[in-house]
Amino acid sequence: MALRDILPGKLGFGAAPLGNMFRDIPEYEALATVEAAWDDGIRYYDNAPFYGAGLAEIRMGRALAGKPREDYVISTKVGRVILDELEDVGARDQGEKAGVFAHGRANKVVNDYSHDATLRSIEGSLERLQTDRIEIVFVHDLARDFWGDQWIARFEEARTGAFRALDRLRDEGVIKAWGLGVNLVEPIETLLDLKESRPDGALLAGRYTLLDHARALQRVMPTVAAKGLGIVVGGPYSSGALVGGPNFEYAPAPPAILDKVARIKAIADRHGVSMKAAGLQFALANPAVAAVIPGASHPSRIAEDRAALDERVPADFWHELRTEGLVDPAAPLPA
């Protein structure tokens, strides 16, 4: 079943901040943020064992406990198994994401894309999320940004392990859909070329935003649309850089990105458009996109995202972005 047929709305909740991403978030604040999302009507929640070594899943499980399970959809990820054993958080090999979850739990994180590890990962997620089922499973970080030159070998491990396990679980009705959850487009291109695997879509973080979308437009988005699948866009604000934050791709934003943000913001200010509205509505204009999942670590962010989604953005704003070369000529723009 394609992702677009499962997701209950265009706006979802990205749970990475609940794992103490970049900072130590108080428990009450994390739970209140999920509650605010629920009160807003959001019914799609994305998570991963990687987020704080299970912390984000634990917090979401607590926050959603008692909610009617048939009323919402959960996606989580495989590729890591969280153990009871503790380890030095600072010594973890996490590629370009090193230190992002330094404030998370100290439980040992084992990277493993095999068939059996995939099943163990799902079992652990079910327990932490306090649920009896997970609708969507993404294979996490199977890309060069995490694995460097080893990513092809890891992809092959997943091809004969995780992919086959998830195909079977989907066919048996245990899950409804699966795909990749990555920050780069190349693994999605590779997966879509495989004949033996049958993914239902993908979660693409950071690669279909106002600041960075050209590569995704070349092949991934058209192929996904043609196959009738769906893309969940993660990180629509590019780690916060688009909305004035200091980070891009989990690190301090480089000068070229800061300059692009400033140019977009100058145009947005002239047209009375918020940067959040520009980011969310740009992503959703692509027919391949099934939902966006901005991360939130404070209840007030939920209301901001909803307002951005509903904000009226004049056509002249998009036209000026195109004229100034700030969006790819091939990028679909809101009507």
| Catalytic site positions | 46, 51, 77
Buried b / exposed e over 239-256, threshold 16 CB at 10 Å, is bbbbbeeebbbbeebeee
Distance CA 335, CA 333 (A): 6
3-state secondary structure of 141: coil
Lookup: tokens for 144: 């060069």
Distance CA 26, CA 108 (A): 22
Distance CA 46, CA 217 (A): 24
Lookup: tokens for 55: 């912390």
Distance CA 78, CA 112 (A): 8
154 contacts 112 by C-beta, under 8 angstroms: no
Distance CA 286, CA 47 (A): 23
Q: Name the residue type at position 97.
A: K
